[in-house]
Copies of this chain bind each other. A is one copy, B any other.
Amino acid sequence: MNTYMAVDVGGTQIRVAVYPEEGIKPLRVKKVATVGEGTPVERIIATIHAVWDAAENVMAIGICVPGPVDPQQGIVFNTANVEGWVNLPLKRILEDEFHVPVFIGNDANLAGLAEWQFGAGRGHKNMIYFTISTGVGGGVICDGHLLLGAQGLGAELGHVFVQSDGNGPPCGCGQRGHLESYTSGTGIAWYVNDELSRGRASSLAGKGKVSAKEVAQAAQAGDALALEAFARASHHLAIAIVNYLHIFNPSILIFGGGVSTVGDLLFQPVRESLAGMVFSPAYLENLELVPAQLGDDVGLLGSLAVARMGTAD
């Protein structure tokens, strides 16, 4: 029996699943903490061995990583979430160990690939997937191809200036005024904490540093500052989305990631403002804005998708 090995590397957890040649129901799944005895690479290797069945023919290993990678060379450039991964030749290490082809991708890119092949994006040829959580990432399908770029560093959809005077809020990447600095959970919480430190009245005052989740709860309860934080996030998301419509002319936008689960609080203002911001109404004809469908499995399914694609040629 032919199988595929999918690996989802997160800052907290490493997940490995064995999938059959078709379908998306895993045969076996194993999870371990990313940090523990041995290095993260050793822990990945041990977990793959643990689910490896010598009676099966493993066609390939797919692996998604929370940071920029070179998918051709199979190198992880760096990742803030896994200690010590700088210019790590992860593809070579795993191929030397397992003697099967290994395909690596950035987690947001592969999540987009998964939603396109198995989730909300099925049937579309031009699709943009946004993941809005701690950061803002993207996965783009252009005319049926995953956008990677010359070194695999494309589709960094959160790292575009939506405020360009140099005085925007700080982004995790070190720049200011990026979409991520407004619309990520980090950016939403940063704004509220910054306003609270200036003495703004809010039901969130006096609680110490608040999280994006607490801001969302306060917004649902009608807190003016929390609502303002989400309005600000929505406004800048709409600016970026309109730019992406003009750049990519997609037929569907898919939103995943923890912050996106707030739903209308974030997206209703976006939907309402797009018509006034596109330069032709044609960009909105037949355009769908939908939530992601694959939930927590999106990383594994992205790794599965890239492994199957890599062996399809």
Q: How far is the CB of A250 from chain B (nearest CB, A)?
A: 6
- Which A258-307 residues sit within 8 Å CB-CB of chain B? 277, 279-280, 282-283, 285-286
Question: Does the CB pair B279–A150 fall under 8 Å?
Answer: no
List of B residues within 8 angstroms of A164 by Cβ: 162-164, 236, 239
In the bound complex, CA of A178 to CA of B246 (Å): 11
Within 8 Å of chain B (Cβ to Cβ): is A125? yes
Task: Tell whether A161 pairs with B162 under 8 Å between CB atoms, given A153-B283, A249-B153.
Answer: yes
**Size class of the contact patch on chain A:** 35 or more
Question: Which B residues are CB-close (under 8 A) to A173?
Answer: 279-280
- Which residues of B lie under 8 Å from residue A239 when comparing CB positions? 161, 164
Q: Is A312 an interface residue (CB 8 A)?
A: no
Q: Is the CB of A277 within 8 A of B142?
A: no
> What is the 8 Å Cβ interface bit string for chain A, positions 140-178, against chain B (1 contact, 0 not)?
001101011111111111011111100000010111001
Q: Does A85 contact B (CB under 8 A)?
A: no
**Chain A contacts to B: CB under 8 angstroms:** 68, 77, 124-126, 142-143, 145, 147-157, 159-164, 171, 173-175, 178, 236, 239, 242-243, 246-251, 277, 279-280, 282-283, 285-286
